[in-house]
Structure 1
Amino acid sequence: MSRYGGGGPSDDDGTQQHGGAQPVGGTPPVPGPEYTQEQLDAMSRDELIKLGGELDGVKIIYTEQPAAPGSRADERAERQVALAFTGAGLSALAFMVAFPAWPWRQELSPEFQLSALFTPVLGLTLGLSLTLLGIGIVLWAKNLMPYEVVVQDRHEGASPEIERQTTAATLMAGLEDTGIARRSLLKRSLGFASVMLGLLAAFPLVGGLIKKPGDQLFRTPWTEGMQLLSVSGTPVRPGDMRPGSLQTVFPAVEGGARSADGVAMLIRLQPDQAARYTSREGQEDYRWNDFVAFSKICTHAGCPVSLYEQDTARILCPCHQSQFDAVNDARPIFGPATRSLPQLAIEVDSDGYFVAKSDFTEPIGPGFWERST
């Protein structure tokens, strides 16, 4: 006989056991009173719940209804829960509006900009949405659902069919106790919050595609004749650096020291390294004597490249250990990066200061769909 056959094995006294699946081990469940399928079908749900409690040895120690259904206290609690769920949905909607609409690009200016609030606004709306959803659930459980304390003895193994049906009836009664079936306001507000939070979870995946960045990924603040400034804001001259040294430089524009895409590395190669320096085709005049300048943004994941090994002329990214050869056009020689660091064409002006000959001739940083290099 199959474990899930229609009849079960008989006891020694010939009594037929109820239930399909039989316990594999442990103490088998004690069969309850004999009821036919017709008798079970004829019982109301309340009768099945009562019968299930008797079969499972459930004892109700304490029960309390927070408020009588339809009373002023009940309606007030329902409005509070609905208000929390509605607020959660509106906060999620605000997140999805702010994600593409709020200005996010930081301009090079010391004045306050709305873009500085982009991340805080997203965090506030997301956090408020989840907080209000949690408050609504807590208020619902505390003020609208009945509170019971019960004690139940458990047995090992699978339960007989009669207990499965009575358990199903108990679960359905529990669903009805939540009041969701008769509280249309709660259903609408909870449905609204659920839809908005579901969209919110997926929105960051597609929200970034709504507003294209235009040409912002193809240009930086560098222009022809712009001086290279040190971190202190002073122009850099060739005599300021020793062979084998590196200096971080910024474009000479207002707020240039905070330029995320304009930051560059000015490197003075050692004499033997400068003698064997090779450049890409069309960029032979990008260096000045033994000085070269490259973007400080790693082409793998956009981390700031900040380490330089002067004996080997290797530029190192601390995030994922990519290494670039400064003598060979900053080409990657180790790690996950696959493209050379973009090179900034430099020269020395009539006052003896380093200046850029143009902007970077290729996009800086990691790859993206529209770039061709």
Structure 2
Amino acid sequence: MGDHSHGSPQESGTVAKAQDDSLDKIQDPGLPPHRARLTDTDPRAAKRAERQVAILFAISMIGTVLFFVGYFAVGHPESIAEIRLQNMLLGSGTAFAMLGIGVGIVHWARTLMPDHEIAESRHEVRTEEGRQEAEEIVNTIVDESGISRRPLIRNSLIGALALAPLPGIVILRDLDLTKASASEIVDRLRHTMWDKGVRLTRDPSGTPIKASDVQIGSAFHVIPDGLNETEDPLNEKAKAVVLLMRLNPEDLNVSPEREDWHHDGIVAYSKICTHVGCPVALYEQHTHHLLCPCHQSTFDLTQECEVIFGPAAHALPQLPITVDADGFLVAQSDFHEPVGPGYWERP
């Protein structure tokens, strides 16, 4: 038999303990090696990056100016082309204003601000010492950002930040709360251009509509006569636009107070959805349903446009109509209830 030598139990235990101790020890790998950026070693590259940041902030300022051009220069658009131009200027101006600031700050941080890692232990905050430490942190941030020694970046950033909030302020100004009382605002929403004897005309031509022109199953987009000659046709149209349809009178289920609101099956209802104000533009001839494409609110034309599906909470307001001596369709009065989305005055 061969001679097998084994270590003593004490020696085996010592080796195992040493292995366990080595596993318990975690070596700090330290921070990864720092690679200097070109802007850290080349002053010309740093100056070029500074100019790029300033240009981005300048783009933000140009975007704000572009917004104001669209807002004031195209003030009250009257044609589709002018509306599209204004929307393009407002949208692109706002986008450039926000994007210029955001991209500029990111480019500034990536190219010019210090990018080395710092490990700092937390200390118990004391009143005076905490104040001093906070002040030191702020001073360190200002110093490391380089804003104090880079006036081009500092001044362009101040200009961009000063101009950026102005579009929002101007838009809020259009709420007109400082110029009109709450009752006056409610009155504007409650009343439209419709009145007794006002003819129903085609949208957008303004051509009067005869009752004989409206066939069963047809639908007309209608505006009040004279709307295109008003000072603010778009706002007036937003409240007064109407859908005109003709059904078999036997299919209409009308309440007693509305028996004379239609003419031989011809009915007129507000085109503005009572949910959030989208245009109700889809008419299903076979089901006699009106559909809002925004959130699929559906109104039953045979039941005085009651809501049968979707989030709308109220029926579409009906415009009482009749015919004049020449056979043209005319309004009997204004709507008997506010048009558009439900608000505090709607029952």
Q: State the distance in 2 between where 1:196 and 1:13 align.
A: 67
Report the CA distance between 1:294 and its aligned residue: 0.9
Q: What residue identity is the alignment partner of 2:290?
A: I
- CA-based RMSD of the aligned residues comes to 4.8
Q: Where in structure 2 are there 5+ consecutive unaligned residues?
A: 1-15, 122-138
Q: Of 301, 321, 327, which residue of structure 2 is paired with 1:346?
A: 321
Tell me which residue corresponds to 2:342: 367
Tell me which residue corresponds to 1:52: none
- Any idea what the Cα deviations from partners look like across 1:297-320, whole Å, max 9, x if unmatched? 211122222344455543333333
Superposed, 1:325-340 pairs within 5 Å as 325-340=300-315
Q: Secondary structure at the match of 1:224?
A: coil
Higher helix share: 2
Tell me which residue corresponds to 2:209: 236
> CA 1:315 to 1:59, structure 2 compared with 1: closer, same or farther past 3 Å?
closer
Report the CA distance between 1:352 and its aligned residue: 1.2
Q: State the distance in 2 between where 1:90 and 1:327 align.
A: 54
Q: State the distance in 2 between where 1:226 and 1:301 align.
A: 27
Q: Is the 8 A contact 2:283 2:289 kept in 1?
A: yes
Is 2:222 aligned against 1:249? yes
Q: State the distance in 2 between where 1:288 and 1:201 align.
A: 48
Report the CA distance between 1:246 and its aligned residue: 3.4
- Any idea what the Cα deviations from partners look like across 1:185-230, whole Å, max 9, x if unmatched? 6456546645765x57986995664557845433334343232224
- Any idea what the Cα deviations from partners look like across 1:226-247, whole Å, max 9, x if unmatched? 3222456543222223345433
Q: Of 86, 89, 93, which residue of structure 2 is paired with 1:121?
A: 89
Is 2:199 aligned against 1:227? yes
Q: State the distance in 2 between where 1:366 and 1:188 align.
A: 46
Question: Which sits farther off after the overlay, 251-260 or 353-362?
Answer: 251-260
Report the CA distance between 1:351 and its aligned residue: 1.0
Tell me which residue corresponds to 1:50: none
Q: State the distance in 2 between where 1:136 and 1:178 align.
A: 13
> CA 1:295 to 1:57, structure 2 compared with 1: closer, same or farther past 3 Å?
closer
Q: Is the 8 A contact 2:70 2:87 kept in 1?
A: no
TM-score computed with the length of structure 2 as normaliser:
0.63
Q: What residue identity is the alignment partner of 1:85?
A: F
Q: Of 274, 281, 284, which residue of structure 2 is paired with 1:299?
A: 274
> CA 1:316 to 1:86, structure 2 compared with 1: closer, same or farther past 3 Å?
closer
Q: Is the 8 A contact 2:39 2:45 kept in 1?
A: no
Q: Secondary structure at the match of 1:56?
A: coil
Q: Is the 8 A contact 1:93 1:200 kept in 2?
A: no
Q: State the distance in 2 between where 1:241 and 1:165 align.
A: 80
Q: Is the 8 A contact 1:92 1:125 kept in 2?
A: yes
Is 2:258 aligned against 1:262? no
Q: State the distance in 1 between where 2:269 and 2:276 align.
A: 16
> CA 1:174 to 1:234, structure 2 compared with 1: closer, same or farther past 3 Å?
closer
Question: Which sits farther off after the overlay, 228-237 or 253-262?
Answer: 253-262
Is 2:98 aligned against 1:130? yes
Is 2:324 aligned against 1:356? no
Tell me which residue corresponds to 1:7: none
Question: Which sits farther off after the overlay, 292-301 or 74-83?
Answer: 74-83
* Paired-residue identity, %: 37
Superposed, 1:19-98 pairs within 5 Å as 30-32=26-28, 55-56=29-30, 58-59=32-33, 64-65=38-39, 78=50, 81-82=53-54, 84-85=56-57, 88=60, 91-92=63-64
Report the CA distance between 1:87 and its aligned residue: 5.6
Q: Secondary structure at the match of 1:122?
A: helix
Q: State the distance in 2 between where 1:351 and 1:228 align.
A: 13
Report the CA distance between 1:354 and its aligned residue: 0.9
Q: State the distance in 1 between where 2:42 and 2:296 align.
A: 66
Q: Where in structure 1 are there 5+ consecutive unaligned residues?
A: 1-10, 18-26, 33-54, 149-162, 167-171
User: What is the number of residues matched between the two proteins?
Assistant: 302
> CA 1:364 to 1:66, structure 2 compared with 1: closer, same or farther past 3 Å?
same
Q: State the distance in 2 between where 1:308 and 1:185 align.
A: 60
Q: What residue identity is the alignment partner of 1:133?
A: I
Q: State the distance in 2 between where 1:90 and 1:316 align.
A: 42
